[in-house]
Amino acid sequence: MTASAETTVANPFEQLPQCAANHQALTPLGFIARAALVYPDRTSVIHGARRYTWAQSYDRCRRLASALHRRGVGTGDTVAVMAANTPEIFEAHFGVPMTGAVLNTLNSRLDAPALAFCLRHGDAKVLITDREFAGPIGEALKHLDRDILVIDIDDDQARERGPKLGALDYEALLAEGDPAFAWSPPDDEWRAISLNYTSGTTGDPKGVVYHHRGAYLTAIGNVISWQMPPHPVYLWTLPMFHCNGWCFPWTLAAVAGVSVCQRSFTGESIWQAIGEHRVTHFCGAPIVLNMVANTPADRRPKISHTVQVMTAAAPPPAATLEEMQRQGFRVTHVYGLTETYGPSVVCAWHDEWNELPIEEQAQLKARQGVPYPNLEGLSVRDPLTMAPVPDDGETIGEVMFQGNVVMKGYLKDPMATRVAFGGGWFHSGDLGVRHPDGYVQLRDRSKDIIISGGENISSIEVENILHKHPAVLLAAVVARPDDKWGETPCAFIELKDGFAPSEEEIIAFCRSHTAHFKCPRTVIFGEVPKTSTGKVQKFKLRHQAKEL
């Protein structure tokens, strides 16, 4: 079915010119130009007392691009940003790539050595940094053996404002720029738009490179997969530094929505924003959902509209789901990795599932699901033979991705890139199954599987059971070395306020729900260590379990 070179030449359909009239690089940057053209007076960004319209945001982004351009920033350069969820990092998603440069948003919870690694590895030429993070960033800059232009974000909403590290403030930089700056789309949509370092639980973080084409397609994929109407009011709980906020800065420009910024949040502050700004959409890990669901009733404003919540990283437990639904939220479960521009798989919901008991709904919603319309391939395969596993919901394989919303590659790491793309599929490292209806469900990360007496135990399966216990707020299960069995499951549990079950009670609860060999042998109560994006840090727990 594919044409040989010979038939192409003879084929009159292929003898038509590609030119500016009928071919342009796909880029999400056009969305902000359109939002400013069509809805210049609609609100784009709210941050405390600051409020911008799309005309103003576009103006500020072009000033940023112009000022950076005048200071020599262009194609091939990197601009790093260390910021909370504020207007500046939102603007950087447009202003930086308008110069042709690559945006590298830094994880604001990283320590100085990790930050220094990112700045060095990413060759950042400019760093825009919020004063709240002056401590670790100042340290990191000392480790850099070269010049870098530092710009300070001086935000009066910051909890603390450390020393200024830079040559000038962000607003002074904007003042240098021309609001009429004539930016161009990239000459090739395959050009890099951003650089996102993975959290790197072992070894150095990897620099995941996104391109304009993928960012455009994910931005639009978010609209369709989440059925976003025009002008949604989006609350930034998800950090914008994380996978470019799942590409939502660009999505919000495409639908001319409102970005409600919060530097940090609590369940109460989320409720407050929903009440005050009529927030319609936000994203967050299940732990964020828990915070919202468990906010005391007297701290919640009355709301009359439905709030759409997108969640990832772990399936939402049934109890959380039920409470969220009762309170007016509708939860969409998505799945993806830094390497797939954030979410690219969605548990697409069937209306008839609404009629099922909530427990069954939670079970269906716990599945990661099906590809976004813009993800070309999703498959569960045997990594050895690359054969797809049967659709039986039981045979475990590696979840693999293929298509335009898979990263360009790992920066300066051609071998890691080739390994990740082995056989023409991106190997996620996540283990999962495919159900008879085609929905994919994760079973575990390869390294999270517990092997006890030669049997595989899915830590996720055990965690799902624990989450059904009324006292459990958060549970994480890892392998504990065992002389007899090799490994046994060890559970770490955060309890809800006012509950104090015993270890025996928890184990007995598990035994009433699953095979004995899968039940935890050890239960530890206390706070569970998490990444800045709310992911449980299992490597720390594994270390702890070894020391027990």
Stretch that binds a second copy, among 35-43, 150-158, 279-287, 500-508 (CB under 8 A): 35-43
The minimum distance between CB 426 and a second copy, in angstroms, equals 5
User: Which is nearer to a second copy, 69 or 518 (by Cβ)?
Assistant: 69
For 8: left if phi > 0, alpha if psi spans -120 to 50, otherwise beta; the answer is alpha
Amino acid 390 reads: P
Nearer to a second copy, 125 or 480 (CB): 125
Consecutive H or E run containing 420: helix 414-420
Q: How far is CA 123 from the centre of its chain?
A: 23
Judged by CB under 8 A, the chain residues 436 through 495 that form the site for a second copy are 438
Applying CB under 8 A, which of residues 139, 376, 461, 503 lies at the interface with a second copy? 376
CA distance 380 to 435: 10
Query: Distance between CA 254 and CA 59 in Å, rounded?
Result: 17
Q: Which sign, positive or negative, has the C-alpha torsion 283, 284, 290, 291?
A: negative
To a second copy, the closest distance from the beta carbon of 245 in angstroms equals: 19
Q: What is the DSSP string of 220-278?
A: HHHHHHTTPPSS-EEE--S-TTSHHHHTHHHHHHHTT-EEE--SS--HHHHHHHHHHH-
Check residue 198 for interaction with a second copy (CB under 8 A): no
> What residues from 495 to 514 belong to the interface with a second copy (CB under 8 A)?
none
CB of 256 to a second copy, least distance (A): 9
13 binds a second copy per the rule CB under 8 A:
yes
Binding of a second copy by 177 (CB under 8 A): no
Report if residue 406 touches a second copy, rule: CB under 8 A: yes
Taking the least distance from each CB to a second copy, the nearer of 301 and 377 is: 377
What is the sign of the dihedral through the CA atoms of 71, 73, 77 and 80? positive
Binding pattern to a second copy, positions 236-275, x when CB under 8 A?
Answer: ------------------xx--------------------
Contact residues for 386 (Cβ-Cβ < 8 A; gap 6+) = 423, 425
Using CB under 8 A as the binding rule, whether residue 342 contacts a second copy is answered as no
Residues numbered 63-82 forming contacts with a second copy, rule: CB under 8 A: 69, 74-76
- Decide if 367 contacts 440 (C-beta within 8 A): yes
> Taking CB under 8 A as the rule, does residue 62 contact a second copy?
no
Rule CB under 8 A: say whether 387 interacts with a second copy: no
The reply to whether 348 sits near a second copy by the rule CB under 8 A is yes
Question: Is residue 389 close enough to count as binding a second copy by CB under 8 A?
Answer: no
Nearer to a second copy, 24 or 294 (CB): 24
Question: Would you count residue 158 as binding a second copy (CB under 8 A)?
Answer: no
Say how many C-beta atoms besides its own lie within 10 A of residue 357's C-beta. 10
Selected from 80, 411, 475, 545, the binder of a second copy by CB under 8 A is 411
Which of 250/271 has CB closer to a second copy?
250
191 binds a second copy (CB under 8 A): yes
CA distance 243 to 312: 13
Closest residue by Cα to residue 97 from 29, 188, 153, 35: 29
**Per DSSP, what are the bridge partners of residue 197?**
207
Q: What is the smallest separation between the CB atom of 239 and a second copy, expressed in angstroms?
A: 23
Site residues for a second copy, 420-439, by CB under 8 A, read 420-421, 424-426, 438
In whole angstroms, give the CA distance from residue 462 to residue 469: 12
Does 403 interact with a second copy (rule: CB under 8 A)? yes
Please answer whether residues 33 and 255 qualify as being in contact, where contact means their C-beta atoms are separated by less than 8 angstroms. Answer: no
Quick check: 233 binds a second copy (CB under 8 A)? Answer: no
Residue 22 within binding range of a second copy, rule CB under 8 A: yes
Assess 386 for contact with a second copy (CB under 8 A). Answer: no
> What is the CB neighbour count within 10 angstroms for residue 500?
8
Do the Cβ atoms of 94 and 29 come closer than 8 Å?
yes
354 binds a second copy (CB under 8 A): no
| Residue closest to 405 by CA, chosen among 335, 347, 350 | 335
Residues 6+ apart with CB under 8 A from 282: 234, 235, 236, 237, 238, 270, 307, 308, 309, 310
Distances from the Cα of 278 to the Cαs of 233, 267, 306, 308, in angstroms? Answer: 7, 16, 10, 12
Q: Is residue 377 a contact point for a second copy (CB under 8 A)?
A: yes
**Part in contact with a second copy (CB under 8 A); list of ranges 2-10, 142-150, 509-517, 529-537:** 2-10
Q: Which residues between 79 and 138 bind a second copy (CB under 8 A)?
A: 99-100, 102, 123
Pick one of 284, 409, 489, 520: the residue that binds a second copy (CB under 8 A). Answer: 409
- Of 89, 126, 153, 209, the residue at the interface with a second copy (CB under 8 A) is 209
Return the residue of 146, 159, 302, 350 that touches a second copy, per CB under 8 A. Answer: 350
